[in-house]
Amino acid sequence: MDSIDNSVKFQGQFEMSRNANDIQGLDKLRRAAQNGDDAALEEAAKQFEAIFVQMMLKSMRKAQDVMADKDSPFNSEQVKFYRDMHDQQLASDMSNNGSIGLADIIMQQLSKGGDGFTPASVIRNDGNLSDINRHSVQSIKQAQQTVLPDASSTGAGFKDAAFSGQQNFMDALYPVAQRVAQELDIEPKALLAQAAVETGWGQYMMHTDKGNTHNLFGIKAGKAWQGDTARVNTLEFEQGLATPKKAEFRAYGSFDDAMQDYVSFVKENPRYQQALKNTNDPKRYFEELQQAGYATDPAYAQKIISVLNSDSLSNYQP
């Protein structure tokens, strides 16, 4: 009997809240929703639909006002005031009658369970988007392997993390960078900064079905390259705009091989000779490297210097 009395009580509160000018009715709706009654959720969905309909009516009225006769007595501010009040109430009545149907969808989406609808709590997943993306990548990869069993022979690649964080990235690569930096007469941390920009501190390393490609510097596989490759998505800047493309990149057996190949790549390419004359000045070196066409990103050198001067790298002690 109490449940019936409460239902009747809430129903009366809901009917009051549908009056667009009854602020107390809206407050009663809020308190009813706090009691956990499903009817409160349904009414809240209708209120949201009413707001949506009211916004549509308001936009239509604005378009009508542009063409209205400014001298007409029906175009006064007083008339518009009462017209807006009427539209507000009309929106509430339309929502209550189910004219649009948006409230039903909201109700099903926000309820704890519903046929054919995923609860909002599941969709949010506590904001853990990384897990969602990781599962999506794995699902896509499995589907590709099922449909295209020989995909591994094409060198199809993807990007994944190869280090647990910035500290792990620097600890693992600094000894290698220190050895090869002597051949370029450049600061080892400068090479780490460039590798950090190219790979997002090792969180977006190129991989194939064989594993990590160890490509730290985004060096593409040209016609002269005889080693393994990985075909992955990349961004190329064309006339200042980032354009997604697929490209073949070099794959190495180790980070030592990748670092050493970077040194050979820069030293043997005539276009980078001016950059090699300024290795004692990392800022000038990367600016010359960028101007010579090493990267299409117009802010490439600036990004590297920013990482080089960051607290993480500048304060790093091997």
DSSP string for 151-163: GGGGTB-EEE--S
Q: Could you give the CA distance from residue 192 to residue 217 in angstroms, rounded to a whole number?
A: 10
Dihedral sign, Cα of residue 245, residue 250, residue 256, residue 260: negative
* CA neighbor of 287 nearest in space, from 258, 267, 295: 295
- Which residue of the set 15, 38, 160, 236 is catalytic? 236
298 domain-assigned:
yes
Q: Which residue blocks in the chain are alpha helix, DSSP H? A: 2-17, 23-34, 38-67, 77-96, 102-110, 120-124, 129-147, 166-184, 188-199, 255-268, 273-276, 282-291, 300-308, 311-314
Bridge-based pairing of strands 229-238 and 211-212 is unpaired
Is residue 109 located within the same domain as residue 155?
Answer: no
Dist. CA 190–CA 64, nearest whole Å: 62
Residue 154 is predicted with a pLDDT of 45
Walking along the chain (318 residues) 10 residues at a time, the average pLDDT comes out as 46 48 55 60 73 77 66 70 78 69 68 51 44 52 47 64 95 96 95 96 92 95 90 79 84 96 95 96 96 92 95 92
Whether residue 141 is contained in a domain is answered as no
User: Could you tell me if residue 290 is inside a domain?
Assistant: yes
CB 214 within 8 A of CB 253: yes
pTM over 0.95: no
Identify the pLDDT of residue 71: 66
The contacts of residue 178 (CB under 8 Å, 6+ apart) are 188, 318
Residue 43 annotated to the active site: no
- Whether 286 is in a domain gets the answer yes
Q: What distance in Å separates the CA atoms of residue 45 and residue 98, rounded to the nearest whole number?
A: 11
Task: With both helix axes pointing from N to C terminus, report the angle between 282-291 and 300-308 in degrees, rounded to the nearest 10.
Answer: 160
Per-residue pLDDT, 147: 43
Whether the CB-CB separation of 284 and 190 falls below 8 Å is answered with no
Q: Is 211 found in the same domain as 99?
A: no
Same structural domain for residues 107 and 190? Answer: no
Print the domain residue range for 66: 2-123
Residue 142 falls within a domain, yes or no?
no
- The number of domains in the chain is 2
Could you say which of 43, 87, 261, 287 is catalytic? 261
